Amino acid sequence: MNCSIKRKDTPYIVAHRGTCGANIPCNSLASFEAAIRQGADAIELDVTKSKDGELFIFHPGMEFRFLKDVKTLKELTAKEIKELRLLNQDGVYTSYRIPTLYEALSLVKDRAYVNVDKFWTDPGAIGEVISSLGMKDQVIVKAYGDEKSIDAVEKYAPEYMFMAMLRKEDKLTATMKDRKINYIGVESLFDDDNDSIISDGYIRSMHEQGYLIWVNGIVYDERDVISAGHNDDISVSRDPELGWGWLMKKNPDFIQTDWVGALKNYMMTR
C-alpha cells in the first residue's frame, strides 16, 4: 500500500462538490476555493466529458437543475460548454462557468486531497490530466466493491489511492492483498447503527492493518440512507452531537460534508 494520507487526531474534512450556496454553484472553481478557505482538507468533484472529449467538472444528469438545459454535456462540444453559465440556488444565471478538470485540479494542487468521482467517465484521459499536474499522491479514487468495479480499478488505476464503497459489511478487504491495487481503505455506508461496517471493532481492526475509514455527513437522497441519520441535516438544524459527534466517536479518517465551515467550527470547539 502506498498512501500519502496519514492518520491524525481529527478526521479530514471532505467538501462535497466544494462549498456552495447562495450565488456560488457547486462544482465551480469558486466553490472549491470557498471550501479550502473554510477548512476543507479534501475536495470531492464530479467529472464528465464533452462530445469532443474534453473533461469538465459537472455531475452528469444534472444539466436541467444547474443549467436549465435538457441537453447533456456529452452532447455538446467543449466550446459550447465553455460558453454556458451555471445557475445559483435560486435558479438565476451567474457569471460562474463549468471548469475543466485541468482548471479544477490546478486550483487544488498542493492545497487539498481530491476525490475524483465519476473516474470511470474516461480513466485513461483523467489519469493523464492528474499525471501532467503531478497529483497522483493527492487523488483518491472510489468505486463499489463488486468484481467488475475492482477489475476496472486494477486495469485503469492500479497506482491511485483506492477506497471501496461498501454497505453494511466488508467482504472485500481480506481479498485485496492479492490484487494489484493501491487499496487504502473503505467508505462505510450504513443505514443502521449496528451494521458491522461501522462497528468499533471493525474500524479498530482496519486501523491496525493500516487502512483508512471514510464516512458521510451528506444527504444526497433521503431515500438512500448512508449514515443511519447521523448526518449534516441533524447536525446543523438540531444537535451536532447526534450527527457529526456520533460519527467522530467512531474514529473515522474522513467525514464528507456539505457544511465545511460549520463542521470545522464544531471540531475546533468540541
What is the model's pTM? 0.97
Q: Taking the CB of residue 78, how many other CB atoms lie within 10 A of it? A: 17
What pLDDT sits at residue 181? 96
What pLDDT sits at residue 253? 98
The string of DSSP letters for 33-48 reads: HHHHHHT-SEEEEEEE
Tell how strand 42-49 and strand 55-57 pair up. antiparallel
Counting as low any pLDDT under 70, the low residues of the chain are none
What pLDDT sits at residue 223? 96
What pLDDT sits at residue 119? 87
Give the position of cell 479550502: 36
Give the Cα separation of 197 and 213 in Å (integer).
10
What pLDDT sits at residue 120? 86
What pLDDT sits at residue 1? 85
**42-68 b/e (C-beta count within 10 Å ≥ 16 → b):** bbbbbbbbbeeebbbbbbeeebeebbe
Q: Taking the chain, what is the end-to-end CA distance rounded to the nearest angstrom? A: 33
CATH of domain 12-46+108-269: 3.20.20.190
